[in-house]
Amino acid sequence: MTAQSTQARIPAAADAAACEVTPEPVHGAQIVVPLNRLKASPRNARKFKHTEAGIEALAASIKAKGVLQPPVVEIERDAEGVATGNYLVTIGEGRRTALRLLAKRKAIKHTHPVRVTVDAENDAHEISLDENITREAMHPADQFEAFKRLADECGYGPEEIGARFGVTANVVRQRLRLGAAAAELMTAYRDGALALDQLMAFCVSADQDRQRQVFEQMGDYRPVHAIRRAMTEAKVRADDRRALFVGVETYEAEGGSVLRDLFTEDGGGWLEDPSLLDRLVDEKLVGLADDLRQREGWKWAEAASDYAEVSALGRVYPVEVVRSDAEAAQIAALSEEYDALVSGTDAGDALSPEADARLEEIDKTLQACGPDFDYSPEAKARAGVMVLLGHDGLARFERGLVRAEDVVSDRAADPEPPKSWTEAESGEGEAASTPADADEGLAPLSERLVIDLTAHRTMGLRDAVQADANIALTVVIHALALQVFYPAWGVWTPLQLRMSVTGLERLAPGVSDGPAGRRVADRMEAWGARLPEEARDLWAVLTLMAPSDLLDLMACCTGVGLYAVRDPHDRKPDALAHAETLATVTGLDMTATWSATAASYFSRVSKARVLEAVTEATSAEETGRIAGFKKGDMADAAERLVEGKGWLPFVLRTVPAVDPDAREPEGEETSAAPGGDDAYRFAAE
């Protein structure tokens, strides 16, 4: 064969190959198609797109295990019915989208081969609908147990399982915890006797024995909050003030275990060793007390369990620090410079490095100068400090506390008060004169004569004080302040005004640590710092005060002396009625001070009172929902329902003031005051 003839045959063979047509795949055939040749089918019955989370999960599964179930496709044809070379995904659009996501992230190529099944006979829309309707999802319990099996048999951790199924490690931990539930609980969940939120409440703790115990004890009625409470009743919440004070990290470092709540967004939990926590609280309080005693030079310092221990002691207050003229001028100049630097900078602008450094330098200098008010060395030599845990988890430092023995020794060391002229003339305190001595020299006045003369003098003093309102105000405030701020000094005033300051901690533990209690204590602290340390110096200080300051001091003393506790052993109906009047005229609003909780109210009253409160705060429908609850569960539910509603029991409600000039509209009855008859009955009793 010649070269020419060979060359003539090559084009002929090429033309034959070009004319050869690849046969179309038949129905049911499995073929491999490049990813970029797969397209979404317009006949897909699912119009609502897959969620991003669902696609992420599919992508993670495909990346780890490949496409486990081939998509079903139909051949795409043009208007003339000729195959285009592309395929429309009838079943498996989610898998196609997940593959495209992997290609976008460069985990696979855009031409990645995908095995598909061709359907050339069935209606594409019908089989798409069939795929979405007839399939049944796995029961969640099976999923929970399957995840646990992967962890147990394959050794996968939460992170690896999450990566293989496109979910977060925390979700995996939740499913692993649910998969480890007691068999009785899983059976009840599969049978529909237990809801998912109830199962999660049981699985707050992984203790299967406790799960079974609570499951059997609760019977058919199992509210979620009651389950969670029963599963954690011997533990301390992570937001408890003791846990906040010590710190969960410190508790764990000491070997304490924490039960984490995997089923809440904040990941809260419970500390499982209350005794260890209490020991750590005590140790920290004692450490703070010792450190404060050494740094500030107090006679003693100790930890206190509550405010009752504090209120049982006397108190001294800080006094103004005496500074030299040069030191006072320096402090004033530095304070002005500090204010000028701060005010000269706009709120949105940052301070320059130079200004920031200067502010820090000024601050250190002012701190070195010490506070404007401080306790004298003599006061620290006989007083001490108590450190206690506040309701917010912060340490409270109560300084200047004086024990009874220190008050007694201090009074014994005081110089004898000077005798008045009446004592000198009458010979009070000396041996009584005898008739034989009556004519010898300047004999003392008789007791009867002294009584007569001083009675006249008292009447003159009454007249003089009545004629001077300012002096009268000062006399009253002097008497009040002596009893409030100097109770151990005895009687230093002729005014027969007696007031008792009764501690309330023994009646309502924690009342001094509440909002109102802290405000009262702050006012007492502020005034204690302004008053002299010794009672004999009080009058001189008061006479120099402005009238407005005197009125503020009187308000402070008067307020702390009020006592409106309804005590069955001390019945004072008129006093209680006047207390109601005071509440009305002052506009007392107890919603800013007290709120109804299970501990403060609902667990301490009858079920009828609980339901009454819920009805008043919300509605009869809400009351009906909890009417069948057990007492403890009802109290917890009521706390949540009335939270933020401003509801108060009738004992705490204030009758609104009535305008005396307002006339009642004709034909209308006067509405009942808050609390109804109970409020008036309380005031009258």
The predicted-structure confidence for 169-220, as pLDDT tens digits, reads as follows 888 888 888 888 898 998 888 888 888 888 988 888 888 888 888 888 777 7
What pLDDT band is residue 332 in, cutting at 50, 70 and 90? Answer: confident
* pLDDT of 240 higher than 90: no
Tell me, rounded to whole angstroms, the distance of Cα 392 from its chain centroid. Answer: 7
Confirm if 168 and 267 have CB atoms less than 8 A apart: no
CA distance linking residue 243 with residue 257, whole number of Å: 12
Structure confidence at residue 264 (pLDDT): 67
Average pLDDT over residues 212-229: 82
Rounded Cα distance, 65 and 68, in Å: 7
Determine the Cα–Cα distance for residues 199 and 201; give it in Å rounded to an integer: 5
Q: Tokens 């069948």 sit at which residue?
A: 628
Indicate the pTM of the whole model: 0.54
pLDDT at residue 647 above 90? yes
Predicted pLDDT at 583: 86
Q: Which residues have CB under 8 Å from 317's CB, separation 6+?
A: 375, 400, 485, 525, 527, 528, 529, 531, 533
Least-confidence region, from 262-276, 351-365, 405-419, 523-537:
405-419
- Nearest CA to 103 among 52, 186, 35? 35
Stated as kind and residue range, the H or E segment containing 315 is strand 314-315
Collapsing DSSP to helix, strand or coil, 542 comes out as: helix
How distant is the alpha carbon of residue 474 from its chain centre? 44
> Which is more confidently placed, 488 or 150?
150
Mean pLDDT of 451-472: 84
Report the alpha-carbon distance of residue 616 to residue 293 in Å, rounded: 51
pLDDT of residue 266: 56
13 pLDDT above the threshold of 50: no
Residue the block writes with tokens 């110096």 = 537
CA distance 583 to 561: 15
**So what's the pLDDT on residue 416?**
54
Q: Residues with Cβ < 8 Å from 70, sequence gap 6 or more?
A: 30, 92, 114, 115, 116, 117
- pLDDT score, position 369: 82
Please check the confidence at residue 532 and state whether its pLDDT lies above 60.
Answer: yes
What does the pLDDT look like over 245-274, one tens digit per residue? 999 899 999 998 888 777 766 556 888 888
- Picking from 356, 311, 364, the residue whose alpha carbon sits closest to that of residue 334 is 364
The Cα 125–Cα 498 span in angstroms is: 95
Say which amino acid occupies 178: L
Distance, CA of 549 to CA of 90 (rounded, Å): 87
CA 163/CA 61 separation, integer angstroms: 8
- The string of pLDDT tens digits covering residues 64-116 is 888 888 999 989 988 888 888 899 998 888 889 889 999 999 999 999 999 99
Residue 255 and residue 279 in contact, taking contact as beta carbons nearer than 8 Å: no
Beta-bridge mates of residue 384: 300, 401
The proportion of the chain whose per-residue pLDDT surpasses 90, expressed as a percent, equals 17
| Side-chain-facing half-sphere of 280: CA atoms under 13 Å | 22
Query: What's the pLDDT tens digit per position in 395-445?
Result: 989 888 888 788 654 444 454 555 554 455 555 544 444 554 555 567 788
pLDDT of amino acid 661: 58
Residue whose tokens read 């402070």:
556
- Spatial distance between the Cα atoms of 619 and 593, rounded to a whole number of angstroms: 24
**pLDDT for position 641:** 92
Q: What is the pLDDT of residue 672?
A: 41
* Ranges of each domain in the chain: 9-133, 284-411, 452-562, 584-684
- Which pLDDT does position 8 carry in this prediction? 42
Mean pLDDT, residues 126-138: 70
Is residue 245 within 8 A of residue 389, CB to CB? The reply is: yes
- Choosing among 3.90.1530.10, 1.10.150.20, 3.90.1150.10, 3.40.47.10, the CATH entry for 9-133 is 3.90.1530.10
Pick left, alpha or beta for residue 647 (phi over 0 → left; psi -120 to 50 → alpha; otherwise beta).
Answer: beta
Q: What tokens were used for 187? A: 């059976």
Q: What pLDDT sits at residue 267?
A: 57
